[in-house]
Amino acid sequence: MLGIPGILELTMEYQIFLLILVFAFIPRTILGLNVTTGKIVVDGTTKIAETDENFICFTLDIWPHDECSQPNLCVWDGHASMLNMDLSLPILNKAVQAFKTLRIRVGGTLQDRLIYNIGDGFKGNCNPFEAHKGLLFDFTEGCLYMERWDDLNNFFNNTGAIVTFGLNALLGKYNTKGIQWEGNWNYSNAEALIKYTVEKKYNINSWEFGNELAGPNSIGASVSASQYAKDLLKLRQIIDRLYKNSQQKPLIVAPGAFFDDKWYDELVTKTGSNVVSALTHHIYNMGAGDDPKLIYRFVNPTYLSQVSNTFRQLKNIIEKHAPWASAWVGEAGGAYHGGGLHISDTFINSFWYLDQLGMAASYNTKVYCRQTLVGGYYGVLRTKTFIPTPDYYGALLFHRLMGSSVLKVDNNVSSYLRTYAHCSRGRSGVTMLFINLSNTTEFTINIENHMNLSLHKSKPKHSSSKNVGTQREEYHLTPQNGLLRSSTVLLNGKALELTNEGEVPDLTPVYRDSNSSISIPNWSIAFIVIPDFVAIGCN
């Protein structure tokens, strides 16, 4: 039983929580605002990192149609799985086609319970998933029918998707103690699927091996790094043999797990060079979707920055022990357990998501896969209507505007103003991403270019001078009515909504004089394109 101090402590915590909730629904115009003026310097002389041209990626998960028969897991819509989603819907196809080349990673927890009904590996026993308490992940093994595989590949081809498919890495293994699984991988079923894929001329960009099986942070089942490396060498042999006569050989990406430095280090040491092309890791750094304190973290710059240590550690492992590989975020949903209700599908989630995109890119992450395209509360398309969430539009702007070369930014203005800079995509100049986490401060920013002597001989070496130009493009994202938990995002004050034909609306900028200051309102996000920003690092 709680005494008076305990009751007071709970009361105070509840009052703070209510205050955050109230702020989340108060229009910006009501709050008293401060205006902070500052200078941000972008070093355009050299790039500090580089992403893949197709950095943005969404996932298609495998949760079955009857998942909602389990009350504690009912955050997942019954027809959001890659096994049963209606791939013919025009609204779905148009949402993917808007990116022209969108990466899609197909996988998730149940990929290590998925059998493919082809070859000798499935032995005629290939049935739909069924909930079964006590089995791994509380499901029986499920089936990917080749008719469905055909449909998926037709969808990928029609939408221009760049596909990563997650293979079952547990087949043939057995549980020994706790969550530890041992034994050699039974590769015959995966080999049959890959062989079928090659014969059908389906274009799979990369095959991923297993899901969340690495080290102490494994989910449900854990495989040692030495055994995992042995299995990967077998996969390498299969791909080399089956794609021997193909013009393009797919990548191997692995392990699709929560990062553990010792496990990853041992993996790359034991596989050696040119086996794993990309080291994938998963991030759910915001906590559980039903955590009542979840909403605090989206506007806490210190909390958002903590995950940078993971990016840094993986970058170091690659540089020191696996220079042939690259870093990918294979799955990131912000909040786990399907995301947070009225959080993951609203404007406030874009603070976490776009900040993660900018941060990951600055640590040389090549690809960032968002959980999910459709499914759970964290889908960027709503599960029943397929209407885009605010995060969809943020991702689309990032994809269209932010190029692959990442530039260094010196920001001493405020920790609440998150700032990233890339060479602009497909054109000259620089594009900047600003995220204002403050509810009380509007920032007025002057951008300066850290110039090199080779650009302007009249300037001293390493001097800073204001960028001279004509007009820049500005894309300001704000929540409708100033409500952080709004499901509608405004672009330059206009609500982004699908057209009557289900087309993604035009993302039209406003234009400003390049020499003028940039205003970043409280609780807002902005992409600023400066086409005449001189950056030799972008050449």
Catalytic residue numbers, as ranges: 212, 331
Contact 249, 210 (CB under 8 A): no
CA distances from 181 to 142, 170, 174, 221 (A): 19, 8, 5, 6
What ranges in 463-528 are assigned the alpha helix state H? none
Q: Measuring CA to CA, how many Å separate 262 from each of 36, 108, 217, 266?
A: 44, 23, 12, 6
What is d(CA 408, CA 420) in angstroms, rounded to the nearest whole number? Answer: 8
376: Cα within 13 Å, side-chain hemisphere? 30
CA 283 to chain CA centroid, Å, is 9
Joined together, the tokens standing for residue 296 give 């605090």
The three-state DSSP-derived secondary structure of 369-428 is EECCCECCCCCCECCCCCCECHHHHHHHHHHHHEEEEEEEEEECCCCCEEEEEEEECCCC
41's enclosing H/E stretch is strand 34-50
Query: Comparing C-alpha atoms, which of 437, 435, 290 is closest to residue 377?
Result: 290
- Among the listed residues 6, 138, 99, the one whose alpha carbon sits nearest the alpha carbon of residue 397: 99
In whole angstroms, what is the distance from residue 51 CA to residue 364 CA? 6
Residue 515 and residue 412 in contact, taking contact as beta carbons nearer than 8 Å: no
Length of the chain as a residue count: 539
